[in-house]
Amino acid sequence: MPAPKQSKRVFLSERPKGHISDKTFKSETAALPTPNADQVVVRVDYVSLDPAMRGWLNDTRSYVPPVQIGETMRAGAIGTVVQGNNLLKEGDIVQGTLGWAEYVVVPAKDLRKLSPPEGSTAVDYLGPLGMTGMTGLLDVGKVKAGDTLVVSGAAGATGSLVCQIGKLKGAKVIALASASKCDYLVNELGVDAALDYKSPTFAKDFRETVGYLDVFFDNVGGEILDLALTRLKKNARIVLCGAISAYNSAGQPEGIKNYLTLISQRAKIEGFIVFDYKDRYAEGEAEMAKWIKEGKLKRRYQIEQGLEQCPQHLGLLFSGGNTGKLLVKISKDAAKY
């Protein structure tokens, strides 16, 4: 695996207003810099596509700096070292923020060398063993046995794990997703019920099936959040993991109106960012690895192809076009999973 002289990359060309367009990203092939002693050259094998990436394109105050115009699009990824140093050797499988590129030159200290435990593979570090798996359900949502847990975006990467963790912890789990994914949620992931959020009778179905809820794990925001606010039990917790319905709105998203129930039910809405739990990644990862080994946690990956198609693949997250964790295979030489 010799290090190449040049590499293709996809970079931010223009900040989108609303949805990503053809003009948002551009690609180019450029010379790869020569690594210094602290750096290694990594071939990017798989990149993770996450709803949060849409937020990184906005020039606003947030939990990470926005991606700059001209900068290679930031993305979590796994790759293979093709030119090592004293810390990493050629052939090591690593995880890091590699970005949308064929090859990258990065400090070895920013990479983690992977040795997947029994039952797991390297891509699981982009799924349950990585940030996707550190859902905040237990720390923020404080889900316990007997709770009624409602999960929106339930068939997505994080949602599908939240549903399973909820069941493993003894909660009654009601999953919200589009109609085509409800079977998967009930029959493969074992949730108690799955509701089609696009159904004309959704609000009624929600009231009848859920009754009142203890925890709402929300990936969607907007109207679904507003409906959930009307069905809170006393001391209910809403974990705001994402608000995918709002990420692409050119103006302001639809407002939530039913927040007065937060007072009458002494309830809360709490946002969380996985980075705040860095100290506990190892603990979360160990628990997930154990569940995987025991066959208690199912993973599903939707693996798309092609570096230059990354922008279009990212759009799948906002059109309901993915089930499970969405990845893009970048290198044709990457191991199959």
Could you list the residues that contact a second copy (CB under 8 A)?
55, 61-63, 221, 225-226, 240-243, 246, 252-273, 276
Residue 175, SS3 per DSSP? strand
What is the 8-class DSSP label of residue 63? S
Comparing CB distances to a second copy, the nearer of 139 and 188 is 139
Comparing CB distances to a second copy, the nearer of 143 and 267 is 267
Shortest reach from residue 92's CB to a second copy, in Å: 34
Residue 177, SS3 per DSSP? strand
Shortest reach from residue 245's CB to a second copy, in Å: 11
The two beta strands, 76-83 and 93-97, are antiparallel
Q: Each residue of 192-225: b (16+ CB within 10 Å) or e?
A: bbbbbbeeeebeebbeeebeebbbbbbbbbbebb
Comparing CB distances to a second copy, the nearer of 13 and 258 is 258
Distance, CA of 246 to CA of 35 (rounded, Å): 40
Shortest reach from residue 227's CB to a second copy, in Å: 12
Q: Per DSSP, which regions of 98-241 are E strands?
A: 103-107, 112-113, 148-151, 172-177, 193-196, 213-218, 232-240
Comparing CB distances to a second copy, the nearer of 122 and 227 is 227
Shortest reach from residue 298's CB to a second copy, in Å: 27
Comparing CB distances to a second copy, the nearer of 127 and 222 is 222
Q: Are 16 and 73 in contact (CB under 8 A)?
A: no
Q: Are 66 and 57 in contact (CB under 8 A)?
A: yes
Distance, CA of 99 to CA of 225 (rounded, Å): 32
Distance, CA of 83 to CA of 7 (rounded, Å): 14
Residue 37, SS3 per DSSP? coil
Burial tier of 61 (Cβ tally within 10 Å: 0-12, 13-18, 19+): exposed
Distance, CA of 269 to CA of 240 (rounded, Å): 7
Comparing CB distances to a second copy, the nearer of 114 and 256 is 256
Comparing CB distances to a second copy, the nearer of 188 and 226 is 226
Amino acid at 244: I
Comparing CB distances to a second copy, the nearer of 193 and 269 is 269
40: Cα within 13 Å, side-chain hemisphere = 28
Q: Are 141 and 268 in contact (CB under 8 A)?
A: no
Comparing CB distances to a second copy, the nearer of 54 and 181 is 54
Shortest reach from residue 260's CB to a second copy, in Å: 6
Shortest reach from residue 226's CB to a second copy, in Å: 8
Shortest reach from residue 249's CB to a second copy, in Å: 9
Shortest reach from residue 296's CB to a second copy, in Å: 29
Shortest reach from residue 287's CB to a second copy, in Å: 22
